[in-house]
Structure 1
Amino acid sequence: MVMKLRYPYQNPVDALLNYLKVRPHDTFLINEHGLSLTYENLYKSSAKLANSLDILDVGYGDKVAVVMNNSIEAVISLFAVWMLGASAVLIDPLTISEDLDYQLGDSVPKVVITDKSVIERKIAVLSKYRVVGVGVSGQGVLSFQELLGSGSITGFRPAEVRGDDVGLIYYYAGIAGRTMQVWHTYFSLYSGPYAFGEAIGLSPKDSVLVVAQLSHILGLTGLMSAFVRGAKAVIAKYFDAKDTPELIRRYGITVFAGVPLMFDQILNNPVLNNKDLSPNALSSLRLTLSAAAPLPPATQLGFYQRFGVPLVQFYGLTEAYVLTVQPIKYKDVTGMVGSAIPGAELKIVDLNDPSKELGVGSVGELAARAPWVMKGYSDPDDTRKAFHNGWLLTGDLMVMDDEDLLYFRGVKKMMIKYKGYPIFPRDLEIILMKHPAVKETYVTGEQAKDPSIGQLPMAYVVLHDEYRVRCLKRN
């Protein structure tokens, strides 16, 4: 039976307007250096930036690329885009130049908001676009700080959006196995994180640590879950095993979600395994959660035994935020990803016939239906392939037991998981084929010696005859 939820708001901006009325001076966001934003600060800063972007001809239905490391400025940028009724195209700041060039060329943003470090590394690609840079100005780059300072909130009103308007775009390969736009609506931006927060009991008493990148669905879910549930969010530029325990202690973090490698490094890092990281070092935590890759049972059990904090697996995907959470009290954890969160419907279907639902104990493809499932891909044909009668076909193979608990059994779609990040063989093959020496190539994943790393990409290449190295036979 599906637990139905009532959602207080239909989009993040309406929620922010409410906080502005009832909790304007409460702190919502803090960075690792202690700089904080109240809800009022967030509204005013986002509205000022939105007003400046409006002058730059950004409006309802347009696209703005956000290519930024985790920061307060990144969060302000997202809300500014949403206040204009535009779509935020979230791109990994560490993406290679070829991918960045493709994603920007494909999405055609009116403006690219990015960091100084990205500009320094990718100026050849970014020079084709109108760029707003944090901590930099001149050379054709508009200053983020100057736009924020010159913007005004006098007479500014956020755009009215429909729930099914596209507010967020990720680039992901999905079922097709090649990179394309994944469209999420304004309502899914609110409903998905809200349902996840409901599943883990997130409340205004909590403080959530966000170290996964916002350009990854895991990082954005952490941030937005804290926001829509009224909790505090602490955001760090990136994960550092040495610094994270101190952030948890300093800010009284109660909820921390990451990838398995993060927890493994905290648990097994020789620098941390001394008197400075006692069993009580993480005492403020009530719950830690792991996703994006299988969680080794040794890491899960070891983390609990050492720190007394439950570490549970949850499951989601770029097309659908979070769908399952493992129960805190579990028996056999091997491969378990938990049961459906409130508002989500899940079933196991036949690999060759998705109209056929499979029973308990049968391995098949996980199909999902929820208000926060993606609107679709940019390619209509691939969108049709991804759905069957309104159900998203996830491409993941699972089995369900008689308690509705799901166990991961593999993937149908071609994908490599490296340190929790998805790598799609077809994308790598396309890059390799651009080299004049390459005639044919096949990319696959091979298991790394360290299970926390996951898989390593391995390419098999056939060269054109003129590039082959001829070996002389020994006499």
Structure 2
Amino acid sequence: MDQKTYYKNWPEGIPKEVEIPAITLVDSLENTVKAFPDNVATYYMGFELTYKQLLDIVYRIATKLSQLGIKKGDTVAIQYLNDPAFICNFYGILKMGGIVTTLSPLFKSLEIKRQLNDSDAKVYLGWEGFTNLVDPIIAETGVRYKFYTNVAPYLSPDPMGPQEFQIAGEPTWEDLVRETAPNPPEVRINSDELALLQYTGGTTGFPKGAMLTHRNIISNCCQLRAWFPGSRPGDEVVLAALPFFHIYLGTGLHNAINNGWKIACVFNPREAHEVIEVIEATRPTIFPGIATLFNNLNNYEEIKDHDLSGIKYCMSGAAPLPEDVKIKFEEISGAKVREAYGLTEMSPGVTANPFVGTTKAGTVGLPFPSTDVKICDADGNALGINEVGELVVKGPQMMLGYYKREEETRNTIKDGWLWTGDLASMDEEGYITIRSRAKDLIKYKGHSVYPAEVEDLLHYHEAIAECGVIGILDDHGEENVKAYIELKEEFAGKLSAQDIIEWAKANMGFEKYPRFVEFLDEVPKTMVGKVSHLELRQLEEEKKKEGSSVFSKHARSADVL
């Protein structure tokens, strides 16, 4: 197969290659401040911060860290919710030559300790709500300094100005930063130097720090900017309703800053009404989302009473986008919703359906500019049209490797190409379809069954709100398809597992339809809203140990045999 097949139907007006400037993320921010000093950088719970104000805070943070003895190349960990403190500290660390590692707000103490130690973090900066998790373990890490943030200053017109309310106790990080003049040291930083240790399960599942340079992230920003036709520097508003710590929205934030756009922060995106309040207050034009977020808005009872018409472009990533969810949100908002694909190791954007030209349902579109992709077998041989193999990618957004893990880096990056661990196929026009994570693939009677495809088909059932599909082993080691189902509220208690199985049997191929169905009040998800197949597998393992799995309770049916 011609591995440049995707150029045959390339969208008009989108460059195949983009020029990557030799700048750092801090250069990008400083350039934006020169161009748009009074543009609003962040909107947070009714308060706005201009780019000029943002840069002042960044400089103060960089100065304070330097005064503490933190040097170029040191790692600083940040753990925040969706608020401006995350952005200010991220760029403050970079300004003094530091490396950022972001911690999930959902982490427990052991997870925090593990990442602090693995990343060799010298400083911890986080929200004060995490004290009960961080204080007990901090002495077991290499962290020299620990500071907590109170978000109150960001709920004012000037976070660095005199505060109306003084908080008793130890000074917060903002108190110390406020007293520091914005005089950061002159540190020479090359765009090819490390900016971020972004932790990911990678292709093996165990957390590893993907080493992303300034150039990696700037490259992805340039690629994203080219993908949004008609977007203009200084004029767009990005709805920030995904977790800041995650690479998906993380690069979305950097792209917004690179272009002088407003970042509209959503404190609690799990609540549809909060997302809608921010939409109506800020009129966002660009909405990076995930299927569950769009689905929540689709199913919000009062959605038709609200105006979402300002949204022009929606990109959906992190998990498959069911076609019915896409169509309904497009009808509600008038926006164009396009499914995309990425992974942490690629900063993260790799492919997307274009906003101009052909978009294909069920695919993740074409490679971004300056990005090459191919489908390979286990020996590295390129496969033909519609043949399923591993998706292999490369581009200027590709990580340096995994931090302190040379062997895993060698197993992932081979001859300049990154092996994603995802099974995919490419059609005759170069559009990519993700079949499944290699580790999630189900083998039913010799047939390859892709959970993502089965989940997408199940979403066509009117009663299903969310679902997750995994393979379960019977007593003979044979794999079967099982679906965990979360019903819409109005259907709860009205359908049986057999009803779902019969519907699936009538609507899917013999090898695909679930032989077993279990209802859950809520299908477990990761922090970014992906169905957590890992948690579903763990749930199944627990049931086996308890002797309550389907194979220990019931005789195997003819469908299973």
Match of 1:10 in 2: 23
Q: 1:284 and 1:346, CA in 2 relative to 1: closer, same or farther beyond 3 A? A: same
- Tell me the alpha carbon deviations over residues 415-440 of structure 1, each in whole angstroms, 9 at most, x when there is no partner: 999999x9xxxxxxxxxxxxxxxxxx
Asked if the contact 1:258–1:289 (Cα under 8 Å) also holds between the matched residues in 2, the reply is yes
Q: 1:22 to 1:309 in 2, by over 3 A?
A: closer
Cα contact 1:335–1:409 (8 A) shared by 2: no
- 1:67-78 to structure 2, matched below 5 A, reads 67-78=79-90
Q: 5+ unaligned residues in a row in structure 1: which ranges? A: 423-443, 465-475
Instruction: Give the alignment's Cα RMSD to 1 decimal.
Output: 2.9
Provide, for residues 32-80 of structure 1, a one-character-per-residue CA deviation record: whole Å limited to 9, x for no partner: x222222221111111011111111111000000111111111000001
Q: Closer, same or farther in 2 for the Cα pair 1:446/1:218, shift >3 Å?
A: farther
Q: Describe the SS at the equivalent of 2:93.
A: helix
Query: Which structure: greater strand fraction?
Result: 1
1:95 paired residue number = 107
Residues 1:448 and 2:448 aligned together:
no
Give the conservation status (yes or no) of the 8 Å contact 1:48–1:149.
Answer: yes
The aligned amino acid for 1:23 is F
Question: 2:43 — aligned with what?
Answer: 30
Partner of 2:343: 317
Choose which of 342, 345, 348 in structure 1 pairs with 2:372. 345
8 Å contact from structure 1 (residues 362, 400) kept in 2: yes
Q: Does the CA-based 8 Å contact 2:268-2:275 persist in structure 1?
A: no
What is the TM-score when the length of structure 1 is the normalising length? Answer: 0.84
Q: Match for residue 386 of structure 2?
A: 361
2:311 maps to which of 285, 289, 292: 285
1:121 to partner: Cα distance: 4.0
Q: Structure 2: which amino acid aligns with 1:358? A: L
Residue 232 of structure 2: aligned partner: 203
CA distance in 1, matches of 2:135, 2:482: 34
Alignment partner, residue 261 of structure 1: 292
In 1, the alpha carbon distance for the partners of 2:109 and 2:357 equals: 44
Contact 2:22 2:191 in 1 (8 A): no
Does structure 1 conserve the Cα–Cα contact (< 8 Å) formed by 2:38 and 2:52?
Answer: yes
Q: Conserved in 2, the CA contact under 8 Å of 1:193 and 1:224? A: yes
Unaligned runs of 5+ in 2: 1-6, 8-14, 152-166, 442-450, 456-464, 469-479, 488-522, 526-530, 547-561
Q: Residue deviations 1:64-108, cap 9 Å, x none?
A: 001111111110000011001111011101112221121112222
Indicate the SS of the match to 1:314: strand
Q: CA deviation at 1:463?
A: 7.2
Out of 250, 256, 265, the residue aligned to residue 235 of structure 1 is 265
Contact 2:78 2:101 in 1 (8 A): yes
Report the CA distance between 1:370 and its aligned residue. 0.9
**Matching residue of 2:188:** 160
Contact kept in structure 1, 2:196 and 2:213, CA below 8 Å: yes
Determine which of 218, 223, 226 is the counterpart of 2:253.
Answer: 223
Q: How far does residue 337 in structure 1 lie from its aligned partner after superposition?
A: 0.5
Paired with 2:90 and 2:219, the residues of 1 have a C-alpha distance of 17
Q: Partners in 2 of 1:98 and 1:448 — Cα distance?
A: 29
User: In the alignment, which residue of structure 1 is the partner of 2:213?
Assistant: 185
Q: Which residue of the other structure, out of 112, 116, 130, is the alignment partner of 1:118?
A: 130
Q: Distance between the aligned counterparts of 2:241 and 2:282, measured in 1?
A: 14
Given that 2:39 and 2:260 are in contact with CA atoms closer than 8 Å, whether structure 1 keeps it comes out as no
Q: Deviations over 1:203-256 (max 9, x none)?
A: 222110111112111120221111112322112223131111221121110011
Do the aligned partners of 2:119 and 2:197 also contact (CA within 8 Å) in 1?
no
Q: Distance in 2 between matches of 1:261 and 1:88?
A: 29
Q: 1:169-209: CA deviations, max 9, x gaps?
A: 11112123311111101111211122112112342221101
**Contact map agreement 2:376 2:391 (CA 8 A) in 1:** yes
**SS at 1:169 equivalent:** strand
Q: One-letter code of the match for 1:458?
A: R
Is 1:106 the counterpart of 2:134? The answer is no
Residue from 422, 433, 450 that aligns with 1:396: 422
Hey, what's the Cα distance between the residues in 2 that align with 1:5 and 1:329? 18
TM-score, with structure 2 as normaliser: 0.72
Q: Please, which moves more after superposition, 387-396 or 102-111?
A: 102-111
Instruction: Tell me how far apart the structure 1 counterparts of residues 267 and 171 of structure 2 sit (CA, whole Å).
Output: 22
Tell me, yes or no, if the aligned pair for 2:40 and 2:261 is still in contact at 8 Å. no
Task: Report the equivalent of 2:354.
Answer: 327
User: Which of the numbers 269, 280, 291 marks the counterpart of 1:249?
Assistant: 280
CA 285–326 in structure 1, closer or farther in 2 if over 3 Å, else same: same
Q: Which SS does the other structure have where 1:177 is aligned?
A: coil
Q: CA deviation at 1:392?
A: 0.5
Q: Which moved more, 1:282-291 or 1:8-17?
A: 8-17
Q: Which amino acid aligns with 2:418?
A: L
2:227–2:354 Cα contact (<8 Å) kept: no
